[in-house]
Amino acid sequence: MECLIGITGKDFVLMASDNLAAHSIIAIKHDTQKQFELSDKMVMAVCGDSGDMVNYAEYIQKNLKLYEMIHGYKLTPNAAANFSRKVLAKALRSNPYQVNLLLGGVEDCGTPSLYFMDYLASMTKEKFAAHGYGSFFILSTMDRYYKDDMTRDEALDLLKLCIKEVQSRFIVNLNSFSVKFIGKEGITVLENIPGSGTVHKDVPREAIHPELISRA
């Protein structure tokens, strides 16, 4: 029921993830952060089992930080992706992590890369990728409209088109997505698309408990 999207452009990666945390049929949280910053130019977006998501992402995050401390330099996105895959593959036959992820990063020279990884630890480098049921809609939209070397505005427009498609045709309501640009200058957090998740959109304000109003 979750959705992750990644698009690479000329010298940036655009990552988006939905903000919904659900347990079975109940939506627990509308402002979950599913994107973890692995370094100042790398982001990992995860979806899947909620405990494994945080456990795995933080494990990778801290190990990359440790590597930087020991060796004095950061790992490239390619190396980080292969490291992440190795951790997933090693755990697969004993204690598997149920996480699907997208790892997007930009090297110091500006070359962007996006890695798609399955919970089974199969990995590919892609120009655009998506996870979840939304991927069935998103990949078709991207196949039609994606072109190489897009500018940031074009990529953002394409992303908005994909999200619109998901919100229109996917039965689960994903009403807000967190968006991040990763470029040479670092990670830029954009405003959520379409807006912060509203909890009780059509319920009159008077009917809402005062403590919930700040969220509505």
Q: Binder to another protein among 136, 212, 215, 216 (CB under 8 A)? A: 136
User: Is residue 83 classed exposed, middle or buried when 0-12, 13-18 and 19+ CB atoms within 10 A define those classes?
Assistant: middle
147 vs 138: CA distance, rounded Å: 15
CA 37 to chain centre: 10
Shortest approach of another protein to residue 113 CB, angstroms?
Answer: 13
Considering only residues 88 through 127, tell me which ones interact with another protein, judged by CB under 8 A: 88-89, 92-93, 116, 118, 120-124, 126
Distance CA 188, CA 149 (A): 19
**Least distance between another protein and beta carbon 138 (Å):** 11
23 is a site residue for another protein (CB under 8 A): no
Terminal Cα distance for the chain, rounded: 23
Nearer to another protein, 135 or 176 (CB): 135
- Nearer to another protein (CB atom), residue 49 or residue 118: 118
14 vs 129 by CB, closer to another protein: 129
Q: Which is nearer to another protein, 37 or 126 (CB)?
A: 126
Q: How many whole angstroms separate alpha carbon 65 and alpha carbon 81?
A: 14
